[in-house]
Chain A
Amino acid sequence: MSGPLSSSSAAGAFSRRSLLLGTLAGAAALATGCTGDPVEDADAVTPAQVDQLAAQVQVQETLVTAYDSALSAAPELATTAAGLADQARAQLDRLRAAAPGAGASSNAPPAPGTPAAPVTDGPPDAAGAREWLRSRVTAAADAHAAACPAFTGGRAALLGSVSAGLRGQAGQLA
Chain B
Amino acid sequence: MPDAPSTAPSPTAAEDAALQSALAAAHTAVWGYAVVGAALPLEQREPVAAARQAHRDLRDRLAVLLTSRGVEPVGAEGGYALPFPVLSAVDAAVLAVTLEDGTSSAWTWVLDQATETGTRELGVAELGAAELRAVGWRTAAGRTPVTSPFPGLPD
Are B117 and A149 closer than 8 Å at their CB atoms? yes
- Residues in B lying within 8 Å of A, measured CB to CB: 21, 25, 28, 31-32, 77-83, 98, 102, 104-105, 107-109, 111-112, 114-115, 117-118, 120-121, 123-125, 127-128, 130-132, 134-136, 145-154
Are A163 and B134 closer than 8 Å at their CB atoms? no
What's the least CB distance linking B13 to chain A, in Å? 15
**Does A34 have its Cβ within 8 Å of any Cβ on chain B?**
no
What's the least CB distance linking B86 to chain A, in Å? 11
Are A83 and B153 closer than 8 Å at their CB atoms? no
Of A51-59, A102-110, A113-121, A153-161, the segment with at least 4 beta carbons within 8 Å of chain B is: A153-161
Most A CB within 10 A of own CB, among B98, B107, B108: B108
What's the least CB distance linking B153 to chain A, in Å? 5
18 A-B interface contacts by CB (under 8 A):
A2-B81, A3-B78, A3-B80, A6-B83, A17-B105, A20-B109, A87-B149, A149-B120, A157-B152, A160-B120, A160-B124, A163-B127, A163-B128, A164-B104, A164-B127, A165-B131, A165-B149, A168-B147
Number of chain A residues whose Cβ lies closer than 8 Å to a Cβ of chain B: 47
Query: Lowest 3 A-B CB distances belong to which pairs?
Result: A3-B77, A1-B79, A6-B83
A20 and B154 in contact, given A90-B149, A149-B124 (Cβ under 8 angstroms): yes
A77-108 near B? 1/0 per residue, CB < 8 Å: 00000011001101100100000000000000
Are A164 and B152 closer than 8 Å at their CB atoms? yes
Residues of B within 8 A of A165 (CB): 131, 147-151
Interface residue from A23, A94, A167 paired with B128 (Cβ < 8 Å)? A167
Apart from A4-B83, A90-B149, list 20 A-B contacts with CB within 8 A: A2-B77, A2-B81, A5-B32, A6-B83, A12-B21, A16-B108, A20-B108, A87-B148, A91-B150, A149-B118, A152-B114, A153-B112, A157-B152, A160-B127, A161-B151, A161-B153, A165-B131, A165-B150, A168-B151, A172-B146
Are A145 and B117 closer than 8 Å at their CB atoms? no
**Does A66 have its Cβ within 8 Å of any Cβ on chain B?**
no
Q: Once the chains are docked, how many angstroms separate the CA of A6 from the CA of B31?
A: 13
A115-158 near B? 1/0 per residue, CB < 8 Å: 00000000000000000000000000100010011111110111
What's the least CB distance linking A31 to chain B, in Å? 18
